């Protein structure tokens, strides 16, 4: 089970880091082109979401990898659950149903990590 958790953590971390970097660092025009919903919320919120995803991605791997406060991995996954739940609700509210699918997949993977690291590992 530990190996499966590590694989899921790595894949989810890579996804979060890439998405976070694409929201946090490029010029706003690039962000608006990549994420059409971003033009309908404040630019600072998009940057905060990007930074949150980036930190969650880092938090999914580094604490457990270096055995320094490994409970932070569970906390990062729990934070990601809240972020993805908020994203799913936001996309549902805007009727962007095509965007909800990947968000739900990421939500389920984050929940799997929370349950796996908290209860099984």
Tens digit of pLDDT for each residue in 34-83?
999 999 999 999 999 999 999 999 999 999 999 999 999 999 999 999 99
Tokens 């996309």 belong to 91
The pTM assigned to this predicted structure is 0.90
- Two tokens at 20? 């976070």
Q: With CA atoms as reference, report the closest residue to 53 among 38, 39, 68, 70.
A: 38
pLDDT at 85: 96
Number of domains the chain is built from: 1
Query: pLDDT tens digits for 73-116?
Result: 999 999 999 999 999 999 999 998 888 999 999 999 999 999 99
Domain that holds residue 113: 2-120
């Amino acid at each position: 089970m530990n190996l499966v958790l590590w694989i899921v953590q790595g894949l989810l971390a890579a996804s979060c880091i890439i998405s976070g970097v694409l929201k946090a660092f490029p010029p706003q025009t690039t962000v608006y082109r990549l994420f059409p919903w971003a033009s309908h919320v404040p630019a600072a919120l998009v940057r905060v979401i990007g930074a949150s995803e980036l930190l969650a991605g880092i938090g999914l791997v580094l604490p457990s990898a270096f055995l320094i406060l490994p409970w932070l991995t569970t906390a990062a996954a729990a934070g990601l659950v809240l972020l993805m739940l908020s994203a799913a609700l936001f996309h549902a509210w805007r009727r962007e149903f095509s965007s909800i699918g990947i968000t739900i997949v990421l939500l389920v993977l984050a929940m799997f990590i929370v349950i796996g690291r908290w209860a099984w590992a």
